Amino acid sequence: MRHGNFTDSTDAKFSWQVFKSLWPYLLEFKARVGFALLCLLLAKLASICLPFILKYTVDSLENRNSSEFILAVPVGFVILYGVTRLLNVLFNELRDSLFGRVTERTIRKVGLRTFEHLHQLDLDFHLNRRTGGLSRDIERGTTGINFLMRFMIFNIVPTLFEVLMVSFLLLINYGLVFALITLFSVIIYVSFSVIATEWRTKFIREANRADSASNTRTVDSLLNYETVKYFGNEDYEAACYDKELALWEQAKRKNRLTLFALNAGQAMIIASAMTLMMTLATMGVADGSMTLGDFVLINAFMMQLFIPLNFLGFVYREIKGALTNIEQMFNLLKQKSSVMDAVDAEELCDTQGRIVFDNVSFHYQPDRPILKGVSFCVEPGKKVAVVGESGSGKSTLVKLLFRFYDTSEGSISIDGREIQSLTLNSLRKSIGIVPQDTVLFNDAIFENVRYGRTTASDAEVYEAIHLAHLDSFIAALPKGVDTTVGERGLKLSGGEKQRVAIARTILKRPPILVFDEATSSLDSQSEQAILASLRELEKGYTSLVIAHRLSTIVDADTIVVLGQGQVIEQGTHQELLAKQGAYASLWSAQQEKNQARK
């Protein structure tokens, strides 16, 4: 059974450093943020005024049987109430509109920065990651920014401000008891919400773990759709996925039950505080120390306070989750690549294409060496082929040349400059590759070819398609070059995908060409046609060919034979055959295999 790595954002302890990380993005819109906060303040002042307007309205109506009663007074208060209510809504809407731009731009910039950073991390990070869990981390992080900015700035902070203002107004107008009841009921409510939410956190963690695991399982299984079909393991995959969903369902059930306990406790605190305040107000109205308007005002204030506080458990949990989710995304930005540009890295330009592998050793793990002191040279404009048995380290040479990894010992240089002293961008722009396993984007064939040089004209793309012998294949397709290749190019055969890869490299036209088993998936007729095109393409270019079929590299200027990570032979095809060594043995074995097929 495969085991997926996934992250659990709620499991980590959040740091308030998240705000420090987000602060530079907010500073970009200082004026907009300032206006939004002003609208917030005005909306809260309007909200606090509403209970007082209600009080004066009720008090004016209470005197309706008096000779001094004037209908215009309560009507005026009602109109004022409506205007104030409207202003409260408008200021809140204006605040959201102003700050929405800030939030959206922040999410865009942080998301883009994370995306770019992930592309800059080394191959080792991406070989050990799980796509589903990683994409969910990014999704949760950007969602967390949105939630944090909306609720932390426009819910928690304003509510605390309102609590203090209301307590102060109750203290001045109705005495210490009313203010203390309000303040203490809010404190008890907040404390209970925080404690209960902390208790519930373990169930949120379980749900997040199950959610990440099931999402990773889905992505992993669908990416390996062909493998699932080859082995007829659809039921096995469904059973594994259902197992992950069962854990998610169980965690969600616990989460729902604990949410009921939280909501019930909050409701009891609200009901007790409201009952106590209303009882005191009722007694005040009864003994004449308070008016009916005062009773309405106190009720309105308590309702205004507890309605936003009613969401506190949810908001606290989500803000905590948002902080940890954002921090998880920022932790991705803290990931350092083991392969980076040197401080004084130079651009590789006007490349002659002389490649030197000088005593190169490499290992993924110290106890498992892959290359051991490999040395050979590829002269400008020459073709050097590297052959050997599977596991001898042939493809590792390509990864080292592209600096997906750095050598453990020794060096690789181009035109006399070690590749560690060159910028990664200029190095990789100077090398074109046709890989053994070609993975295409789920886009049209035409755009997949253009990916070799995104600025190429349509005419240049068509020329590359022609040189890669894709014409007849594309002509037979109903949509021609606009045919979508499917996820990872699953709609194309192995040979068709490799011809698209060859077309990409032809379009790129780099000074150095690398072919990693470039024709391994082609039939003999297509192979010979493409080899003829490649020979034309290789003229004047430096070529490094990783080959399995020896018949494709008999014209190489030098053939390097690897065995157990070491160079055991070098020479031309004829020279190596004459030596009657490892290369001659490989040649004989392949010739016998070809004869047997005939």
What is the Cα–Cα distance from 252 to 257, expressed in whole angstroms?
A: 9
Contact (Cβ atoms closer than 8 angstroms) between residue 312 and residue 155? no
What is the Cα–Cα distance from 76 to 88, expressed in whole angstroms?
A: 18
* pLDDT tens, per residue, the chain with 598 residues: 444 443 444 444 445 667 777 777 777 788 888 888 888 888 888 888 888 898 888 888 877 666 566 777 778 888 998 999 999 899 988 888 888 888 888 888 888 888 887 877 766 676 666 555 667 777 778 888 887 777 766 677 777 778 888 888 888 888 888 889 888 888 898 888 888 877 877 777 777 777 877 888 888 888 788 788 888 888 888 888 888 888 888 888 888 888 888 888 888 888 898 899 889 989 988 888 888 888 889 888 888 887 777 666 667 767 777 777 777 777 777 777 777 877 888 888 888 889 999 999 998 888 888 899 999 999 988 889 999 888 788 888 998 998 888 898 999 999 989 999 999 888 988 888 888 777 788 888 899 899 888 888 999 999 888 888 788 888 888 888 888 887 666 677 777 787 888 888 888 888 888 888 766 656 666 666 666 666 666 667 888 998 888 888 888 899 999 988 899 999 999 999 999 988 999 889 888 876 665 5
Q: What is the phi/psi pair of residue 155, to 5°?
A: -130, -60
pTM for this model (two decimals): 0.63
Please give the structure tokens belonging to residue 426.
């200029």
Contacts 24+ apart (CB under 8 A), 388-395: 388/561, 388/562, 388/563, 388/582, 389/563, 389/586, 392/562, 392/563, 392/564, 392/565, 393/362, 393/562, 393/565, 394/516, 394/546, 394/562, 395/436, 395/516, 395/546
The domains located in the chain, with CATH, are 13-334 (1.20.1560.10)
Residue 443's identity, in one-letter code, is D
